Amino acid sequence: MQDYRKKAETICENIRKIRELKGWTRDHLAAELNLSPSGYGKIERGEVELTLSKLYQISIVLETEVDQILNLNPDQILNSKEESPKEEVVHHLKPSLNQDTLLVKYVLLLEEKVQKMEASFGLGRHAI
């Protein structure tokens, strides 16, 4: 149970670090998540249980992937003298897929499933 608590604290710290690296305030992130500032503050302090759904929402608002929140590497923050740590980490945290891309992929997947179901029932789409 100790390992779970430590990992949960690390995730909350990573959320705060990424937010700060982007130069965003708690109030800004709270508003984007439709939370009160105190409610969002409880997430960063680890005072509430963070659901997978909320973690996913936070990753979308932070414009990063859940995996990057779960596994933020401290070496990414304190690394190069040539590039400021903030610029280096923010560059690394850019998402490989944005929300619009995910929605398009989801719609295409649903369309594919509908076509397979229609084909299995011998139905076809008819042009009107």
Give the pLDDT of residue 80. 34
Residue 99 pLDDT: 55
Q: Residue 62 in contact with residue 18, Cβ under 8 Å?
A: yes
The number of residues in the chain equals: 128
DSSP-assigned letter for residue 95: -
Q: Read off the DSSP letter of residue 63.
A: T
State the Cα–Cα distance between residues 95 and 98, nearest whole angstrom: 6
23 backbone φψ class: left, alpha, beta (φ>0; ψ -120 to 50): left
Tens of pLDDT, residue by residue, the chain (128 residues): 568 788 888 899 999 999 988 889 999 999 999 999 999 999 999 999 888 889 999 999 998 888 888 888 655 554 333 444 444 445 555 444 455 566 666 666 777 777 777 777 776 554 33
pTM: 0.59
**Cβ contacts of residue 62 below 8 Å, gap of 6+?**
15, 18, 19, 22, 29, 69, 93
